[in-house]
Structure 1
Amino acid sequence: MSTPFVSTVRLLVAGLIATLAIPVMSIAKPISPDFVALAKRLKPTVVNIRTTKNIKPRQRARHPQLQQPPFGNFFDDFFGRYFDEAPQQRPRREQALGTGFIISAEGYILTNNHVVSGADEVMVKLSDGREIKGELKGSDEKLDLALIKISEKEKLPVAELGDSDNLEVGEWVMAIGNPFGLAQTVTAGIVSAKGRVIGSGPYDDYIQTDASINPGNSGGPLFDANGRVIGINTAIIAGGQGIGFAIPINMAKDIVAQLRDKGRVTRGYLGVRFQPLTADLAKSFGLDSDKGALIASVEKDTPADKAGLKAGDIILEYDGKPITEGNELPRYVAVTPIDKKVKLVIFRDGKKQVVGVTIARLKDGEAQAAAAGTTESASIGIVVQELTKELASRLGIRDTKGLIVSEVKPGSSAEEAGIAAGDMIIEVNGQGPDTQEKYNAAVAKLKKGDVARLLLKRPDGALYYVAVKIDQ
């Protein structure tokens, strides 16, 4: 027999059960790192670098000199050179400021090459104020990295190196550096993008961040939320705000040992000129994806030539790594041990094939051949390449010599003028540039505001004039 009390209890229990049965939706709020704790822990691993270069006296000019601006070249490019302007007939000392971080307790410090390049003296200032003379152990201009060694009896605090391959866009990051000479400055932000190509060299693969980076931050560490170095702050866009670039730390890991032991870097060499694969080009080859690197030409007597690679082959995989962007290829080749035989998965004649190639050593002057197969005119907005017999055959073009447009930049004057991938360039302002060198020379004469007249040959054989206004 149910009493009023029992009924009430039953109702309460039923209500409780019903409440518990309803899933409670909660919104997870991102928790920012404890930047205070990180800054205290990581500051001792970051150093300030001051370099001095002795400038030889110049002969006094015999013509009137223009008056320099009040502050002269107070900041030079990114890393902030501070000049002590002196009369031309007197020697002077040029100073530069930068940042570095300690990667071993024995005193090895990683920084940018452009911070120490050409310096006659390198001074390293620790976080506790001590200043020690540094020795340049090795440098790599292509990656813009340098290794410095300081002698100190006590073991030094070390910055732990992270894994930049696992970095995700949107992650918190923190930079510590020496911007404008303001030592031990801490800034924070997020990873804005990965894999940025900014035209600084054949191995561009920058991390973009909105953590404030300024002249003097060069060579400083970019830390993740766990306090591990995932990048080396290197560049900013001139006039840009909130846009900085860092070298992924994994690229530095690959060469630190060589810098320490040899003072220079030895890289792998394949011997191809390639270009990014566009959707239109991929379709013309019968490939249903634009992932890969299109070989534009093969250098004679190179590993690629000996392996039988040829123009028109599309490299889909290199040593087990898929090629999603064309600019990945030179980076993969560069870090391959010399004489190692690697497998390439290529697309040729409508099917995939596996090719074995033995990597050689990259000699001076060969980096561009390994990493570039096109010429880009930023002012016009097109990318061109020299036509080969193999490429002409695959594209169904009767011509076997000349220049073909492989890419048109979205929103450019070229796109507005109607230029399309696959067009052949017959003339530029009346000149017939049948090689990239001649094309470069013709474009170099143009300046902002000019109008370039191009005679194009369409894939159907029709000739067509376009006028392109130079907007950059």
Structure 2
Amino acid sequence: MTSALQPRECKVTKKPQKSYGFYLRIEKDTAGHLIRNVEKDSPADKAGLKDNDTLVAVNGEQVEALDHEQVVEKIKQSEEKLTLLVVDKETDTMYKLVRKLQDPSPAKMEERVELHTGQKVNKPRICKMVKGPSGFGFNLNMIKNKPGPFISEVQNSGPADTAGLKDNDFLVEVNGVNVMNEPYEKVVTRVQDSGDELTLLVCSKDAYEYFQHQKTHITASTADPSYNAFAPPAHTENPPAEPERTSPDTYPKDQCTKTLLSVRVYAHKYVYT
């Protein structure tokens, strides 16, 4: 017999210009995003949402680590169809108890974030920077059929370098928004639209492979807190000379499409160096 203490997937469909029929709240002394005031016979009610349910995921993406505004935005982006993973109060309490019993101590957790060679995997890093006279001081690239955009040509002593950005870092989030599956052009636009301040969640190749192997999402909650501080803007009076550019013809074929785009965008200063 299946236990009633299980998460529930509720598929909610509403009519255009109508509401789903529930409120999403964060309440004092209560953890998580709460479903409140489910209207009788509303799309939410018919889909099985209950008052006081805790929201776990929106359209398959976990939202426990997101703030209220980010979750609301994800719901708005769904337009007329929405899939919510929720748990009731009893189920939430049970899962938290089990998690508490199973979670290792901080020391044990540090041991788990190690390769079999004994070398520690770098944690994801939140790199906050303020644009200097010559920009943020990095380039952004993407290779066809490879996961996500990555950082390159981090300018020595520039804002990105000071904030902890490294060459070949995987770019996970731009200003709190996951960009791993976004088109290259959209990621560039997010960076461009950030103005003078930019927050990036990045990780090394080793860290990326570790989290993939563990089937764990890379989020700000997994980041190394020591990097979570604004880097001061660069104070370079004269920007250093640009490094000599490699001809696009020398790139491997599987890299050529996106690299050509990167060089062209760089020339128009959409990617900051």
The structure in which a higher percent of residues are strand is: 1
Taking CA–CA contacts closer than 8 Å with sequence separation of 6 or more, which of the two structures ends up with the larger relative contact order?
2
Would you say same fold, with TM above 0.5?
A: no
The structure in which a higher percent of residues are helix is: 2
TM-score, reference length from structure 2: 0.34
The structure that has the greater radius of gyration is: 1
TM-score, reference length from structure 1: 0.23
